[in-house]
Structures are given as C-alpha cells and as structure tokens.
Structure 1
Amino acid sequence: MMGMKIDCPCCGGEIDARHTESMSQTMRRMYFVCGDCGYRTPAGFEILFSLSASARPRDGVTLEVRPSPTLRGTVNARTTMTRVNAL
C-alpha cells in the first residue's frame, strides 16, 4: 500500500496509514499511527462517485458518473476548499 498521511488530530504531526481492510467494494477501513505522540485510530475511506466512466467496469459495482472540470494542481490530505457565502 502506498503511504497515506494525514494530520494527527492530537499533536498536529503526521499519522501514517499502516493497515487497511475491505468493508465493501467501494469502502475500506484504514488504521493510522502517529510516530510523534503514539496516537492510533481507524478511519473510513469511501469511493462516493465517478468523475468519468471506467474503461473496465467491475460486475456488481455501480457508481454514478458526475463529470467535473479537470482538477489542476496538487490534491492531497491537506487540500482545503474555501467556502464563499453569497450575501
């Protein structure tokens, strides 16, 4: 598994995904460990929908396709979106 890192909610360091287990074809449970403070926690990861149709769809898996503009720049666990409130 490639290393997935997110911010530790306790100390602000990086916590690493050490193990995953399948919950369904579109959902996994990931177990994270913080090397700085020792915090350990499970987290859920779910595929919600598709941005484009698959060239090799899997039998029994149906994901809604919601086309969107091409993503630009780096997208990672620290990427945030600013919400603009209309007045």
Structure 2
Amino acid sequence: MQYRARDYRYFIEKNDCKPSMSRKGNCWDNAAMESFFSRLTVELVFAEQYESIEDAKSGIFEYIEVFYNRVRRHSAIGHISPAEFERKSA
C-alpha cells in the first residue's frame, strides 16, 4: 500500500515521474527488476561502504555499465553478458 500513499504519489507527480505498478494479481510483472536490485544489493551494496552520495552513484554506475552489462553472465540469456547477447543478436 505504500506505493499508493498520498505523500508518495504527490512526490512522484511533483518530480515529473510516472509510477509503475503491477497488474492486479500478477506478481511476475516486476520480477526482472526485483532480480536486478537483489543482485545489486548482494554483489555491490553489502560489499561497499560509501563515503558520500557521489561515491555511491559512481559505484552503482560502474557496477551497471562495466560489470553487470559487460561481464556478468545472465542465466535468462544463455549464460552470457547482455553486451555479448546484443552483439550476437545484431
């Protein structure tokens, strides 16, 4: 219910964002992002101690752009990286 809370909806609208909610009764709508954030938390956040918000932003950017997309193998795409998957699909 927190994503339907008035203050949350106000914050989202005030910042020109569009909320994303699952279809009623479909727990799989957000599975890919839940998996990503789980991996991000386990593989990066728990292993680091950031000194500042900028350090955290930089670390997250590097994790996504360098490791997650170019190195980390993903079981859903045949145990290759997303970058390799795109190269093979092009």
Same fold (TM over 0.5): no
More strand by share: 1
| TM-score of the two chains, using structure 1 as the length reference | 0.23
- Bigger helix share: 2
Higher relative contact order (CA 8 A, sep 6+): 1
